[in-house]
Structure 1
Amino acid sequence: MTPEPAPGSAAPLLGGPVTPVAPVWTAPVRRTPGGLIALTIIGLVFGSLALLLVLVYLSTFLGPSALVLCLLLALVPLTGILLVVRWIDRWEPEPRPALWFAFLWGAGISVVTALVFDFGVQLALAAAGSSRAGSEAGGAGSGTDAFAAVLQAPLVEEGAKGVGILVLFLVLRRTFDGPVDGIVYAATIAAGFAFSENIQYFGVAMLESGADGLGFTFLVRGVFSPFAHVTFTACTGIAFGIVSRRRAGGALGRVLIVLAGFALAVALHGLWNGAAYLLTNDSALLFYYLLVQLPLFIGYIVAVVLLRRQ
């Protein structure tokens, strides 16, 4: 009577010896790149310090209680954005340390960069306008505000966020391999930036107009336009994703693609800021949102779905 083969062994052939079955496939061993480990450590340290500086700065004019309240409110749109990013990223998840770096870069380093640059511009304008007459300085001030809203802020903020995407692109060159990756990293950086910015906007609105101002600002930024920064910065991320797959065209062609994506991000950002600056009437701003921003956002959703299918 022939004995039964042991589990995991091949059945005997014509009374031959029993041999174990050798696996024909083994799961690949994932190794964390050394560059990602260094990036994570540096990002966690400097990004956390930068975010702490932002919170300390905000607490100087908001106060601890208002800061905590506005921070909790800012978590609402942040959670929605991160859930969408996770949905986009579920087929080929990016490394969690890289996503943490991206968030801290946006919430801390990018915001500090924008604040420092804005402070420097204000000092330069104050020094340059110290010898002007009061009426002349007043006229220049209004023009300066428009310039800061439409051009300076988009350039500085999108530039600071874009540098974060560039760092991830260089460190994760082997896994940063398409437009979807660029969207994921850009959206995470933008989510962090919007989180810190929302705390400031909510706090200022509450100080100036009380609960009514806070509620309206939360409605505009937390409900109507939580993905505004995401749509801006995603243009830069998509450009880096296209470059990651481009084999021809040379270095100049790749640089031009990135610059084109960055220019589109700045243009969309400037369009949004300009509308918010010029349209002081709430009804006009809502009409602009439905006519311009909502179609742009729908187009962005369609583009993301098509990229995921590809």
Structure 2
Amino acid sequence: MGTQRRAPSPRSGRFTGPGAFLVVAALGAFGLFGGLSLLLIGGLNTGLQGLVFGMALGVLPVPVYVSLALWLDRYEKEPGWMLVGAFAWGATVALFFSFVLNTASGITVGLLLGAPAGDFFASVVSAPIVEESMKGLALLILFFWKRDEFDGVVDGVVYAAMVGLGFAMVENFSYYGVALGEGGVAGGAAAFLVRGILTPFNHPLYTAMFGIGLGLARESGRTWVKVVAPVTGLTAAMTLHSLWNATSYLAPGLGGLALMISVLVLPPLAGVVFAVSLSLKREGRIIRENLRPELRSGLISEPEYEALGSVRGRLRSTMRAFFKGLSQWRSQRRFNQAASELAFHRHRAARGLSPPGDEAHYLDDLVRLRGRF
């Protein structure tokens, strides 16, 4: 009799099957086409030297910003392939369609009302609507398709950040390359200072408005919230984007930049941080409420139970495990993740968002990891 294999967890984050392969292949092919097209267009605008310069500066800070975005997801890490997919969508699909539609709208209005009007329309009207719609489409797909991986505001903000960072990274290739051609190294460095250091979170911030709206829709049981919150979030994203572009168009220079950062970046960014902090407290309560059976059974000790429902507690437990060795640290992180997945599954099942019968898989994962330390 062969060894019995454990059934994979329904929330393992894996995307399998023939249909899944075809979807991934199609999106990958289109993403590759879009990415290569954008690089070709960028190269024509900036030249090879400018393109290489722009790509180098565009990629340089991204690992830091991605790490900051992922750090927000303290309780239940999202599957890596979904995070990479969100980033790639922003860098290729969203940016490609945005470029095509914005260019077409600018040319059309320019032919009717003159080139200045076309440029203004493309920047202040078309770009906010098209770009936020294309970036938001990735969130909408994840919201409906992977309901067990989109639990609330935190997930919405994290996915939005990945889409926005991917979009901004490739968009900056051209900006930096053009700045190099027009102003030399000093011009390229100035563009990097403004776009890569002072305002790197604009696109993630705009898209986070929609992510928060979708997160609130997921968290709420009220029908009107499920409709109003996403619409309000997308409207806020487009409005912020439009105001930023209009101000930069009408009030260029350091004074205008300082005004935009102080009014259009810092307050909304503080609002996103506040929304995430409230959502993290909610997630902590969900974990504590849904892990009580394991506390009573002794599978989870009282100190572990308290730590699992607290951001600080989790940080302390993983740090203690780290000083006991890399293997212990990995086991602790996996145990924390398994406990979170079990708790969130129970929460979703109680709301009719996940099949109750899947609980055995999550509990089996937790029991298996319990035996490692």
Does TM-score exceed 0.5, indicating one fold? yes
AA aligned to 1:201 is Y
Answering whether residue 248 of structure 2 is matched by residue 268 of structure 1, we say no
In the alignment, residue 119 of structure 2 is paired with which amino acid? D
- Taking only the aligned residue pairs, the percentage that are identical comes to 34
In 2, Cα distance between the equivalents of 1:100 and 1:27?
26
Deviates more, 1:206-215 or 1:38-47: 38-47
Structure 1 portions without partners, runs of 5+: 1-25, 130-136
Gaps of 5+ in 2: 1-5, 283-373
The 3 A distance-change label for structure 1 pair 93 and 224 is same
Q: 1:229 aligns with which of 203, 217, 221?
A: 203
2:169 corresponds to 1:189: no
Task: Specify the alignment match of 1:285 in structure 2.
Answer: 257
| Residue 52 of structure 1: how far off its partner (Å) | 1.8
- Contact residue 236 and residue 261 of structure 1 kept, 8 A: yes
Q: Which amino acid aligns with 1:293?
A: V
Give the TM-score normalised by structure 2: 0.67
Supply the AA of the counterpart residue of 1:215: A
Q: CA deviation at 1:61?
A: 2.1
- The structure whose Rg is larger is 1
Whole-Å separation in 1 of the counterparts to 2:179 and 2:238: 25
1:104-143 deviation per Cα after TM superposition (whole angstroms, max 9, x unaligned): 11000011111110232244235546xxxxxxx3xxx333
Equivalent residue letter for 1:67: L
Contact 1:44 1:104 in 2 (8 A): no
Q: Match of 2:44?
A: 60
Residue 175 to residue 287, structure 1, CA distance change in 2 (3 Å): closer
Determine which structure has the larger helix proportion and give its number.
2
Match of 2:366 in 1: none
Q: Which residue of 1 aligns with 2:9?
A: 29
Task: For residue 256 of structure 1, report the CA deviation from its aligned partner.
Answer: 2.9
Q: Structure 1 residues 238 and 39 mapped into 2: Cα distance closer, same or farther (>3 Å)?
A: farther
Aligned pair partner of 2:214 in 240, 253, 262: 240
Partner of 2:278: 306
Once the two structures are TM-superposed, the CA of residue 47 in structure 1 deviates from its matched residue by 1.9
- Among 180, 183, 190, the alignment partner of 1:216 is 190
Match for residue 56 of structure 2? 72
Structure 1 contact 178–241 (Cα < 8 Å) conserved:
yes
The residue matched to 1:174 in structure 2 has which SS?
helix
Which amino acid letter does the alignment assign opposite residue 162 of structure 1?
Answer: G
Aligned match of 2:226? 254
Number of residue pairs matched?
Answer: 273
Q: What is the alpha-carbon distance in structure 2 between the residues aligned to residue 142 and residue 202 of structure 1? A: 23
Structure with the larger RCO, 1 or 2 (CA within 8 Å, 6+ apart):
1
CA distance 1:28–1:126, change in 2 (3 Å): closer
CA shift, 1:88, in A, is: 1.3
Counterpart of 1:179 (choices 130, 153, 175) is 153
C-alpha distance after superposition, 1:211-265 (max 9, x if no partner) = 2221111111111111111110001111111122233326xx5333211110000
Q: Return the letter of the residue paired with 1:187.
A: A
1:204 corresponds to: 178
CA distance in 1: counterparts of 2:23 and 2:158, whole angstroms = 17
User: Is this contact kept in 1: 2:157–2:212, CA < 8 A?
Assistant: yes
Deviation track 1:124-166 (CA, whole Å, cap 9, x = no partner) reads 235546xxxxxxx3xxx33333332222111110011011111
Which residue number in structure 2 is paired with residue 6 of structure 1? none
In 2, Cα distance between equivalents of 1:275 and 1:80: 28
Other structure's SS at 1:63 match: helix
Residues 262-301 of structure 1 show CA distances to partners (whole Å, capped at 9, x for unaligned) of: 0000111112112211112323422442354233323333
Aligned match of 2:267: 295
- Secondary structure in 2 matching 1:94: coil
Q: 1:254 to 1:114 in 2, by over 3 A?
A: same
The answer (yes or no) to whether the contact 2:94–2:167 under 8 Å persists in 1 is yes
CA separation in 2, counterparts of 1:61 and 1:266?
A: 27
Partner Cα distance (1:65, 1:162) in 2: 33
TM-score normalised to the size of structure 1?
0.80
- 1:19-78 Cα offsets, whole Å, 9 max, x none, are xxxxxxx99735435476655444333223221221121111222222122111111232
Q: Aligned equivalents of 1:233 and 1:40: distance in 2?
A: 23
Between 282-291 and 229-238, report the one with greater CA deviation. 282-291
